[in-house]
Structure 1
Amino acid sequence: MVDAHATAHSRRIAAEDGVIAALGIRVDRAEPGYAAVRMTVRRDMVNGAGVTHGGMVFALADTAIALASNDTAEAALVAGADVVFLASSAEGDELVAIAEVRAVSGRTGVYDARVEESGRVIAEIRGRVRRPRESP
Protein backbone atom coordinates (compact mmCIF):
# COMPACT_ATOMS: atom_id res chain seq x y z
CA MET A 1 0.00 0.00 0.00
CA VAL A 2 1.43 3.36 -1.00
CA ASP A 3 -0.77 5.96 0.65
CA ALA A 4 0.65 8.94 2.50
CA HIS A 5 -2.82 9.61 3.94
CA ALA A 6 -3.26 6.20 5.57
CA THR A 7 -3.18 5.62 9.28
CA ALA A 8 -0.49 3.25 10.55
CA HIS A 9 -3.21 0.72 11.41
CA SER A 10 -4.79 0.77 7.95
CA ARG A 11 -1.32 0.43 6.38
CA ARG A 12 -0.69 -2.69 8.47
CA ILE A 13 -4.11 -4.14 7.63
CA ALA A 14 -3.58 -3.62 3.90
CA ALA A 15 -0.04 -5.01 3.98
CA GLU A 16 -1.12 -8.19 5.79
CA ASP A 17 -4.35 -8.81 3.86
CA GLY A 18 -3.94 -11.64 1.37
CA VAL A 19 -7.25 -10.84 -0.34
CA ILE A 20 -6.14 -7.28 -1.10
CA ALA A 21 -2.96 -8.67 -2.64
CA ALA A 22 -4.70 -11.49 -4.54
CA LEU A 23 -7.29 -9.16 -6.08
CA GLY A 24 -4.73 -6.48 -6.90
CA ILE A 25 -6.57 -3.86 -4.86
CA ARG A 26 -4.72 -0.56 -4.61
CA VAL A 27 -5.34 1.94 -1.84
CA ASP A 28 -5.72 5.56 -2.93
CA ARG A 29 -6.58 6.91 0.51
CA ALA A 30 -7.38 5.47 3.94
CA GLU A 31 -8.06 7.57 6.99
CA PRO A 32 -10.50 7.43 9.91
CA GLY A 33 -13.99 7.44 8.43
CA TYR A 34 -12.96 7.48 4.76
CA ALA A 35 -11.23 5.22 2.25
CA ALA A 36 -10.85 5.00 -1.52
CA VAL A 37 -9.56 1.83 -3.20
CA ARG A 38 -9.36 0.60 -6.78
CA MET A 39 -9.11 -2.65 -8.70
CA THR A 40 -8.74 -3.56 -12.36
CA VAL A 41 -11.16 -6.33 -13.35
CA ARG A 42 -9.24 -9.37 -14.58
CA ARG A 43 -10.48 -12.30 -16.67
CA ASP A 44 -10.71 -14.49 -13.57
CA MET A 45 -13.08 -11.94 -11.96
CA VAL A 46 -15.87 -12.17 -14.54
CA ASN A 47 -18.71 -14.66 -14.55
CA GLY A 48 -20.10 -16.79 -17.36
CA ALA A 49 -22.12 -13.84 -18.66
CA GLY A 50 -18.90 -11.84 -19.14
CA VAL A 51 -19.62 -9.31 -16.39
CA THR A 52 -17.74 -8.70 -13.16
CA HIS A 53 -18.82 -11.21 -10.53
CA GLY A 54 -20.87 -9.52 -7.80
CA GLY A 55 -18.60 -11.02 -5.16
CA MET A 56 -15.64 -9.15 -6.66
CA VAL A 57 -17.56 -5.86 -6.59
CA PHE A 58 -18.54 -6.48 -2.98
CA ALA A 59 -14.99 -7.49 -2.00
CA LEU A 60 -13.73 -4.12 -3.26
CA ALA A 61 -16.42 -2.22 -1.31
CA ASP A 62 -15.81 -4.37 1.78
CA THR A 63 -12.11 -3.47 1.63
CA ALA A 64 -12.93 0.24 1.48
CA ILE A 65 -15.30 -0.06 4.45
CA ALA A 66 -12.72 -2.05 6.42
CA LEU A 67 -10.02 0.55 5.86
CA ALA A 68 -12.34 3.46 6.69
CA SER A 69 -13.55 1.82 9.90
CA ASN A 70 -10.24 0.58 11.31
CA ASP A 71 -8.96 3.60 13.16
CA THR A 72 -8.20 1.85 16.44
CA ALA A 73 -5.52 -0.67 17.41
CA GLU A 74 -8.04 -3.54 17.47
CA ALA A 75 -9.80 -4.71 14.33
CA ALA A 76 -13.30 -3.53 13.51
CA LEU A 77 -15.16 -6.04 11.35
CA VAL A 78 -17.96 -5.71 8.83
CA ALA A 79 -20.88 -7.48 10.52
CA GLY A 80 -23.33 -7.18 7.65
CA ALA A 81 -24.09 -5.26 4.51
CA ASP A 82 -26.77 -4.56 1.96
CA VAL A 83 -25.72 -4.38 -1.68
CA VAL A 84 -27.59 -2.89 -4.60
CA PHE A 85 -26.06 -3.64 -8.01
CA LEU A 86 -27.01 -0.87 -10.43
CA ALA A 87 -24.88 -1.56 -13.50
CA SER A 88 -22.42 -4.12 -14.75
CA SER A 89 -18.72 -3.88 -15.50
CA ALA A 90 -16.39 -6.10 -17.46
CA GLU A 91 -12.84 -7.32 -17.85
CA GLY A 92 -10.38 -4.44 -18.12
CA ASP A 93 -12.59 -1.95 -16.26
CA GLU A 94 -11.06 -0.13 -13.32
CA LEU A 95 -13.45 -0.07 -10.39
CA VAL A 96 -13.14 2.50 -7.62
CA ALA A 97 -14.79 2.07 -4.22
CA ILE A 98 -15.22 4.98 -1.84
CA ALA A 99 -16.41 4.35 1.72
CA GLU A 100 -17.47 6.96 4.26
CA VAL A 101 -18.72 6.75 7.83
CA ARG A 102 -22.36 7.74 8.31
CA ALA A 103 -22.87 7.11 12.02
CA VAL A 104 -21.20 5.51 15.01
CA SER A 105 -23.04 4.63 18.20
CA GLY A 106 -21.19 2.67 20.83
CA ARG A 107 -19.47 -0.26 19.15
CA THR A 108 -21.59 -0.16 15.97
CA GLY A 109 -20.83 1.93 12.91
CA VAL A 110 -22.69 2.47 9.64
CA TYR A 111 -20.64 3.06 6.50
CA ASP A 112 -21.75 3.74 2.95
CA ALA A 113 -19.67 2.63 -0.01
CA ARG A 114 -20.09 3.37 -3.69
CA VAL A 115 -18.38 1.40 -6.45
CA GLU A 116 -17.88 3.26 -9.72
CA GLU A 117 -16.35 2.72 -13.14
CA SER A 118 -15.46 5.91 -15.03
CA GLY A 119 -17.98 7.87 -12.94
CA ARG A 120 -20.76 5.34 -13.58
CA VAL A 121 -22.22 3.86 -10.38
CA ILE A 122 -21.90 0.06 -10.37
CA ALA A 123 -23.10 -0.62 -6.81
CA GLU A 124 -24.16 1.04 -3.56
CA ILE A 125 -23.38 -0.72 -0.29
CA ARG A 126 -24.43 0.06 3.28
CA GLY A 127 -22.20 -1.77 5.74
CA ARG A 128 -22.62 -2.33 9.46
CA VAL A 129 -19.34 -2.46 11.33
CA ARG A 130 -18.81 -3.87 14.79
CA ARG A 131 -15.98 -2.29 16.73
CA PRO A 132 -14.01 -4.21 19.37
CA ARG A 133 -15.04 -4.13 22.99
CA GLU A 134 -13.23 -1.32 24.77
CA SER A 135 -10.49 -2.32 27.19
CA PRO A 136 -11.34 -1.83 30.88
Structure 2
Amino acid sequence: MTPKALAEKAAAAMWASDRASQHIGMEIAEVDAGRAVLTLTVRPEHCNGHGICHGGITFMLADSAFAFACNSRNQMTVAQHNAISYLAPGQEGDVLRAEAREISLNGRSGLYDVTVTNQDNRVIAAFRGASRAVKGAVFEED
Protein backbone atom coordinates (compact mmCIF):
# COMPACT_ATOMS: atom_id res chain seq x y z
CA MET A 1 0.00 0.00 0.00
CA THR A 2 1.37 3.43 -0.89
CA PRO A 3 1.80 6.02 1.88
CA LYS A 4 -1.07 8.06 0.40
CA ALA A 5 -3.38 5.01 0.23
CA LEU A 6 -2.49 4.16 3.84
CA ALA A 7 -3.26 7.75 4.89
CA GLU A 8 -6.59 7.67 3.05
CA LYS A 9 -7.59 4.37 4.65
CA ALA A 10 -6.60 5.63 8.12
CA ALA A 11 -8.57 8.85 7.53
CA ALA A 12 -11.67 6.90 6.45
CA ALA A 13 -11.45 4.72 9.56
CA MET A 14 -11.07 7.73 11.86
CA TRP A 15 -13.77 9.75 10.09
CA ALA A 16 -16.30 6.95 10.50
CA SER A 17 -16.38 7.55 14.27
CA ASP A 18 -15.37 11.24 14.46
CA ARG A 19 -18.79 12.57 15.35
CA ALA A 20 -17.46 15.86 16.69
CA SER A 21 -15.78 16.94 13.44
CA GLN A 22 -18.75 15.76 11.40
CA HIS A 23 -21.23 17.50 13.70
CA ILE A 24 -19.78 20.96 13.23
CA GLY A 25 -19.54 20.50 9.45
CA MET A 26 -15.89 19.73 8.74
CA GLU A 27 -14.89 17.98 5.55
CA ILE A 28 -11.67 16.17 4.68
CA ALA A 29 -10.19 17.74 1.56
CA GLU A 30 -6.84 15.92 1.35
CA VAL A 31 -4.71 13.43 3.26
CA ASP A 32 -1.25 11.99 2.72
CA ALA A 33 1.55 10.72 4.92
CA GLY A 34 2.09 13.36 7.62
CA ARG A 35 -0.34 15.79 5.97
CA ALA A 36 -4.05 16.59 6.07
CA VAL A 37 -6.34 19.38 4.90
CA LEU A 38 -9.78 19.89 6.43
CA THR A 39 -12.33 22.58 5.60
CA LEU A 40 -15.25 24.17 7.40
CA THR A 41 -17.78 26.78 6.32
CA VAL A 42 -18.43 29.14 9.25
CA ARG A 43 -22.13 28.96 10.10
CA PRO A 44 -24.08 31.33 12.40
CA GLU A 45 -23.87 28.83 15.28
CA HIS A 46 -20.04 28.90 15.01
CA CYS A 47 -19.96 32.61 15.84
CA ASN A 48 -19.38 34.12 19.29
CA GLY A 49 -20.86 37.21 20.97
CA HIS A 50 -18.68 39.48 18.79
CA GLY A 51 -20.19 38.00 15.63
CA ILE A 52 -16.95 36.29 14.56
CA CYS A 53 -15.95 32.64 14.43
CA HIS A 54 -15.47 31.35 17.97
CA GLY A 55 -11.82 30.59 18.75
CA GLY A 56 -12.82 27.13 19.95
CA ILE A 57 -14.22 26.32 16.51
CA THR A 58 -11.01 27.48 14.81
CA PHE A 59 -8.99 25.47 17.32
CA MET A 60 -11.17 22.40 16.76
CA LEU A 61 -10.65 22.60 12.98
CA ALA A 62 -6.88 22.90 13.40
CA ASP A 63 -6.81 20.11 15.98
CA SER A 64 -8.78 17.77 13.71
CA ALA A 65 -6.41 18.43 10.78
CA PHE A 66 -3.51 17.73 13.16
CA ALA A 67 -5.15 14.45 14.22
CA PHE A 68 -5.63 13.21 10.66
CA ALA A 69 -2.02 14.12 9.78
CA CYS A 70 -0.42 12.43 12.78
CA ASN A 71 -2.53 9.25 12.43
CA SER A 72 -1.86 8.97 8.69
CA ARG A 73 0.60 6.08 9.04
CA ASN A 74 -1.95 3.85 10.81
CA GLN A 75 -0.21 4.19 14.18
CA MET A 76 -2.67 5.32 16.83
CA THR A 77 -1.46 8.75 17.88
CA VAL A 78 -2.78 11.32 20.33
CA ALA A 79 -2.05 14.96 21.12
CA GLN A 80 0.55 15.57 23.78
CA HIS A 81 0.14 19.35 23.78
CA ASN A 82 -0.68 22.11 21.34
CA ALA A 83 -0.93 25.87 21.05
CA ILE A 84 -2.68 28.30 18.74
CA SER A 85 -2.21 31.93 17.78
CA TYR A 86 -5.26 33.73 16.39
CA LEU A 87 -4.12 36.16 13.70
CA ALA A 88 -7.38 37.36 12.11
CA PRO A 89 -11.06 36.72 12.77
CA GLY A 90 -13.04 34.18 10.80
CA GLN A 91 -16.36 35.56 9.60
CA GLU A 92 -19.74 33.93 9.09
CA GLY A 93 -19.75 32.44 5.59
CA ASP A 94 -15.97 32.06 5.42
CA VAL A 95 -14.63 28.76 4.18
CA LEU A 96 -11.80 27.93 6.55
CA ARG A 97 -9.03 25.59 5.42
CA ALA A 98 -6.73 23.94 7.96
CA GLU A 99 -3.58 22.46 6.44
CA ALA A 100 -1.53 20.27 8.78
CA ARG A 101 1.98 19.24 7.90
CA GLU A 102 4.51 17.15 9.73
CA ILE A 103 7.62 19.02 10.85
CA SER A 104 9.34 16.18 12.66
CA LEU A 105 8.70 12.53 13.49
CA ASN A 106 11.23 10.95 15.81
CA GLY A 107 10.34 7.64 17.44
CA ARG A 108 6.95 8.01 19.12
CA SER A 109 6.99 11.84 19.12
CA GLY A 110 5.89 14.13 16.29
CA LEU A 111 5.60 17.84 15.70
CA TYR A 112 3.02 19.36 13.32
CA ASP A 113 2.21 22.84 12.11
CA VAL A 114 -1.32 23.73 11.04
CA THR A 115 -2.17 26.91 9.16
CA VAL A 116 -5.81 27.97 9.05
CA THR A 117 -6.72 30.26 6.15
CA ASN A 118 -9.95 31.59 4.69
CA GLN A 119 -11.16 31.51 1.08
CA ASP A 120 -9.05 34.62 0.32
CA ASN A 121 -5.92 32.84 1.61
CA ARG A 122 -5.83 35.16 4.64
CA VAL A 123 -4.16 33.46 7.60
CA ILE A 124 -6.68 33.13 10.42
CA ALA A 125 -4.60 31.08 12.87
CA ALA A 126 -1.30 29.25 13.34
CA PHE A 127 -1.37 26.05 15.41
CA ARG A 128 1.48 23.81 16.55
CA GLY A 129 0.78 20.35 17.89
CA ALA A 130 2.97 17.72 19.47
CA SER A 131 1.89 14.11 19.12
CA ARG A 132 2.68 10.87 20.88
CA ALA A 133 2.18 7.45 19.33
CA VAL A 134 0.38 4.99 21.61
CA LYS A 135 -0.31 1.28 21.37
CA GLY A 136 -2.55 0.15 18.53
CA ALA A 137 -3.45 0.85 14.94
CA VAL A 138 -6.15 3.10 13.52
CA PHE A 139 -7.44 0.14 11.46
CA GLU A 140 -6.58 -3.53 11.15
CA GLU A 141 -4.35 -4.13 8.15
CA ASP A 142 -4.93 -7.22 6.00
Residue of structure 2 equivalent to 1:126: 128
Other-structure match for 1:101: 102
The RMSD of aligned alpha carbons is: 1.8
Q: Sequence identity, in percent?
A: 33
Q: Residue by residue, what CA displacement relative to the aligned partner does 1:70-108 show, whole Å, maximum 9, x if unpaired?
A: 034442111211111000011111100000000011111
CA distance in 2, matches of 1:23, 1:15: 15
Q: Which segments of 5 or more consecutive residues in structure 2 lack a partner in the other structure?
A: 138-142
Amino acid at match of 1:124: A
Q: Which runs of 4+ in 1 moved over 6 A?
A: none
Q: Distance in 2 between matches of 1:7 and 1:132?
A: 20
Distance, in Å, in 1 between the alignment partners of 2:75 and 2:126 is 27
Deviation at 1:116, TM superposition (A): 0.2
**Aligned positions of 1:74-93 closer than 5 A:** 74-93=75-94
Q: Distance in 1 between matches of 2:123 and 2:9?
A: 30
Give the drift of 1:129: 0.7
Q: Distance in 2 between matches of 1:116 and 1:47?
A: 19
C-alpha distance 134-47 of structure 1, shift in aligned 2 (>3 A): closer
Distance 1:95 1:113 in 2: 12
Give the residue type in structure 2 aligned to 1:132. V
Instruction: Report SS of the residue matched to 2:90.
Output: coil
On the 8 A contact 2:36/2:101 being kept in 1, the answer is yes
8 Å CA contact 2:28–2:39 kept in 1: the answer is yes
The TM-score with structure 1 as length reference comes to: 0.90
